[in-house]
Structure formats: C-alpha cells, structure tokens
Structure 1
Amino acid sequence: MPERRVFIIRHGERCDFAFAKSGLWINSFDSKGRYRPLDINLPRTLPRRPDGWQGFSTDSPLTEIGYLQSKLTGRALRDNSIEINHVICSPALRCIQTTIGLLKGMALDKRLQFSVEPGLYEWMVWARYGRPCWIPPKDLKKIGYPVQENYVPCYTDKELRMSETMADYYQRSFSSMNKILAEYSEGNILIVAHGASLEACTRQLVGGDIRSSEDFYYLLNNTPYLSCVELSSREGLWRLVGRPIPSFTHTNNYTFDPVQLVTKDLESLKKERSGRDSMRTTQ
C-alpha cells in the first residue's frame, strides 16, 4: 500500500482579531452596510453574502496580510514538491479564503476544486455571538471560488451543537477525519481549518487520548496563523511526522499615529497611551 499524506493548516490572519482593539474593521461599514476599508490591511472588497453584510460579524474574512500568508504557504508547499490531490476546508470564510490563497500559491487554483466540511469548524463554544452563518457552496461558486458543489458533508451546520463540550469537539473532529479519509481513500489530502484543528483532527487518529483543557489551550496558544502539520500512513496506521515546510515567522505591525510627530505635549500622549494599555490588560 503506497504512503498517504495529510496536511492540516490553520487559516491566516483574520480581520476581527487583527482589528479588535482599534475597531477599524467594524467601523469600515456605514449604517447602510456600505464598506470602505479604513486600513490598508483590510480587504479592498468583500464577497457578497446571502445573509447580508451583518454576516461578517460572525464570519470574518482574512486581512490582506492573511491572504498573503496563505499564498506564501502555498508556494512553500509547491517548492517542497508536495503533491495535493484533494482539498477540504472548514466553512468559515477565513478558511475558504486561505484555501484559495494556498491553491494559488501552489498554482493549483485552475486544476483543483475544494470541498466544504462543516465538521471541521472550530469548537462551537467560541461562537460568542451566536450560531455562525456561512456562505453556502452554491453562492461561493457564484463568486468564482473553485468549490465542489456535490460534496456530501460529514456534518451539516444544523448538527453542530452550541453546547458541545471539549470532548465533543475532539470527537466531531475525529469523526470528520475518519469520514474524509474513507471518502478519499487514495492520494494526499489538504485540510484547511482552525488553530485547534491541528490537535483535535490528529490526536485520536494517531492513538492519543483527549488532552486536559490546560494542555489543549497551551497548544492552541502556540499555534500561530498558517501553522502546518503532516500526517503519514502506511498500512492504515497514522503517525505525526512534524511540519512539511519551513517555519513561517513574522511580527506584529501596530497602527501608526502621526499625532506623535506634531504634538507639543508628547508626555501627555505617552501617559494617555500607557493608561489605555493598562486598561486593556486588566479587562
């Protein structure tokens, strides 16, 4: 039996997290939902969605940097001669856009379609603003995304329970992986999902036990955007073999305020910023 390889990748930088402190993402919409990006790192345009612009509040797109991250990662996969035969991603818009960037980076965007699997969505306890709404595959197709419309998902969005425990999330991820592996019994698979997916989609597959919540959150906090892990199998036994491409290191770039160059009272400005930072750390 030939070796099989599965690659699991976290999505890129997301708008709502990148601009959580500044509010520039939310403020880029006016009262009528018209969008005008207030930062160079916000997407220039947004896809039309059937639930309206309000749907972005629970389904954030990538930042411009996030999309670039995904293309660079796709290029690294290509440069390391990694062959991909099947692509499956979470229904979150950030994962779908990451998938597009990866395919473009690998020069596969004209050759491969991807399937959308709700079972790969993140732990539902993190859906802070209620059940998320996603853009359906048929509407993604209209936008021009190379999505496989006739894919039969392991889970429907209605089957994802808002009350699921961490153990439920592990089990859903494990079940989704088993069904995906059975559906695509040959060839290499690329899975694009969330930070916790690198752990939850692999742990039980390689024979491990569900971790404690402390260990789970430790691993999550140390899984940056576009992290990638590889699984390999011979004779049906899966093992983790580490990352298939070099690491991806980058730094934060904070908002520049030109007021600091023209103010006559720099000390007051410094104290004001220090006070804001202090309040953030205590909230």
Structure 2
Amino acid sequence: MVPIKDKKANTTKSELTSEIGPHSCPSNMEKVKQQQKGKNSAPAQFECVARNVIVMCNSQPIDDVCPEWIERCSQTGSYAPYDMNMPSRLPVERAITNYANDAPLTRIGLILAQLTGRGLLYNGLVPDVIYTSPALRSIQTAIEIRRASRSKAAIRVEPGLFENTNLYPQGAPTFLNAKERLALCAAIDNNYSSAISSKDLFASREQTPDYNRRVGTVLNRIVRKNEFLPVKKDLNYLIVGHPSTVDMAVGQLMRGPTPRMSTEADLAEAYKRVPNCAAVHFQMATNQWIIEEMLPVSFEGCTTALDYNFVMRPPPGAIIRLNFLEENPTKRSQNY
C-alpha cells in the first residue's frame, strides 16, 4: 500500500505564482502569518473553499493512435512524425526512450484540451486551482486547459493521481523531472508538497483495493484543502487524471454509508466508458456534492461525453443526485 505523506514543502525563495500561489501547506501558511505580523502593507488572508470540482480524463496521447511510435522513431535515432496527428516535435528535449509509457498528446489531443478549456471559460468555471497526474498526457492537458480558459492558477503535479500502477509491470515510467516540467510550462508549481511521492508510488506492488484507497485519500485531501486568498471567494478546482480517476471520483465523493469501490473489471471498463477529456462536475450544495452537467465536445466519430450509466452506479445504500437530470427529466436514463 502506498504511504500518504503530509510534510512541509521545500520552499526557499518561493513567491506566489498566481492568485492562489503554491499549495497552502504549513510552510506557506507560516509565510502568511509572518506577513500579517509585519507592516500593514500585507493584505488580510481569507480561507476559501472549493465550490466546483471538475475531475477530468487526460486528452488523446500518441500511443493511443500510433502504438509503435517509439520503435519506429528509434530506428532513425531521432523523432520524425509519420502521421499528421503526431506533433511536429516532442514537447521536452530528452531521450525518446524516456517517452515510453509516458507519451505526449497528439495534435488532436491538444485541440481537444483547448476546446474543453474554452468551454470552462464560457461556463464560468475558470479553474482557480489545478491538480494533475504526473503523466505527461495529463500535464499537457492541464496546461492547454489553463491556457484556453485564461486561468492564472499554478499547476500542482500530484503523483497520487496517477493511474493503477499494476498496469506497469516493468516499472515506473520516466516522468518529467522538476526542471523538465518548468521547461514545459512556467506555471508548474514545483513548491507543491504532494500527498505521495513518485518514488513511493512504485515502492510496492499495488492491488486494486490499494488503488481505491490511494485515489480516495488523495481526492479527499485535495477537495478538503482550503486556500488562503486576499479576497473571499468560492473556488473552482480542476483535477486532471485518467479514465479510472473520473470513475473513482464519483465513487469516492458521492458516497453513501461507504464509498463505492471500483473492481478490477470496473477499472478495465472505465477505459471504454470514459473517453479523452471526459469530465464530471461536482458542486457543493448543503454540505454534500451534487453532479452538474458537463457539456461535451463532439464531432463525427468522437465525443468527450462519458457514459453516465457506468460512472453513476451507486454504492450500496446511496442515492446519487444528478442535478442537471432533475431539472431536465427528458435527459434521464432508465438506469439512473
């Protein structure tokens, strides 16, 4: 089972990189207290909570459409796209073999993330806080959504959001290091103190119950972690993970007497039922999460609409409220 850590961030000369800034960990809160003890130039800090939480799947990676791209490019010794959906160049300069099991997004994947981000902007859901899995496809998705939605949030890389590690029997992918992440996007918050380190993530063989506990612990840690801002406001959280992250978020946040746990069969099915950039919008209402509609991006043969019949299967004894279906009965499925 992966240990959850909760320690101080290694902050040195860190400055707030956005309105939200680095994670409100003990070191950052100590800085706030010191500012408040000084001259009256420092603004007051208000504790702000999550009002909307959007949990999203990564966009389309290269290996989804060109599964042998590493082998083909390795034959020539340098990256050369052989499909128009492949990016003209790789996002970070590193050995091409380091992209094995950590592929970047396709051109369509980038566009899909941008359209999704624009949708958040139009619907008043610009992210104030962004968390992402350490997978490159998730980081790139978060970056494009941030850019298209005109968000100013720092991006926090949380290894605890990574997909089930038993999908990687040969070991951990070579994730981007801190320097490579900053080269990819200056908005990456390398001062963030993660719940789980990348090293701990693959420290032991993870079984499905362990994965459920890990994701549940990390998701609840994120949504319950308040931010401290100069102004009082309700916050929009964006969490970019994987198909199983979206499915497990429903099971963990829309809980009855006990969370709805995902089985090994459920996890396999999630990759069929939760497409690229599919998302669930959780909204806090009367101290409980309800689910609001997320408009999909659709074109011929492709959609970001997830299968609500699958992800909304309730745990025993629970009633899941789908607010948008209550307001629009004609959209109700017979399985809800």
With normalisation by structure 1, the TM-score equals 0.79
Q: String of CA shifts for 1:110-138, please: whole Å, max 9, x gaps.
A: x2221100000001111244211210233
User: How big is the shift at 1:211?
Assistant: 3.4
Contact 1:73 1:102 in 2 (8 A): yes
Partner of 1:4: 51
Q: 1:120 aligns with which of 154, 161, 169?
A: 161
Contact residue 49 and residue 55 of structure 1 kept, 8 A: no
Counterpart of 1:29? 74
CA contact (8 A) 2:63 2:69 kept: no
Note the 1:60-79 alignment, pairs <5 A: 60-79=103-122
Moved over 4 A (4+): none
Q: The residue matched to 2:243 in structure 1 has which SS?
A: coil
Matched, 1:244 2:294: yes
Gap change, CA 1:178 and 1:163, over 3 Å in 2: same
Structure-2 residue corresponding to 1:271 = none
Three-state SS of the structure 2 residue aligned to 1:28 is helix
Does residue 202 of the first structure (1) align with residue 250 of the second (2)? Answer: yes
Contiguous gaps of at least 5 residues in structure 2: 1-47, 228-233, 303-336
2:62 aligns with: 15
2:128 to 66, 85, 109: 85
The percentage of counterpart residues that share the same residue type is: 25
Unaligned stretches of 5+ in structure 1?
Answer: 253-283
1:164 equivalent in structure 2: 206
The counterpart of 1:54, out of the listed 73, 78, 97, is 97
The equivalent position to 2:276 in structure 1, one of 213, 216, 225, is 225
Would the aligned equivalents of 2:120 and 2:149 in 1 still touch at CA under 8 Å? yes
1:31 CA drift (Å): 5.0
Conserved 8 A contact 1:29-1:36: no
For 1:78, what is the secondary structure of its paired residue?
helix
Q: Secondary structure at the match of 1:102?
A: helix
Note if contact 2:116-2:297 (Cα within 8 Å) is conserved in structure 1: no
Q: How many equivalent pairs are there?
A: 245
8 A Cα contact 1:100 1:145, kept in partner: no
Per-residue CA shift, 1:212-246, capped at 9, x if unaligned? 3334433431111110101122354223x143223
Partner of 1:167: helix, strand, or coil? helix
Aligned pair 1:187/2:229, yes or no? no
Of the three residues 144, 163, 169, the one matched with 1:101 is 144
Could you state the TM-score of these two structures normalised by the residue count of structure 2?
Answer: 0.67
Q: State the 1:5 CA deviation.
A: 0.9
The question of whether the paired residues in 1 share the 8 Å contact of 2:127 and 2:237 is answered with: yes
The AA in structure 2 aligned to 1:246 is: P
Letter in 1 for 2:244: A
Whole-angstrom distance in 1 between the partners of 2:296 and 2:91:
32
Conserved 8 A contact 2:52-2:284: yes
Q: Is the contact between residue 11 and residue 192 of structure 1 (CA under 8 Å) also seen in structure 2?
A: yes
Letter in 1 for 2:247: E
Instruction: Compute the RMSD of aligned alpha carbons.
Output: 2.3
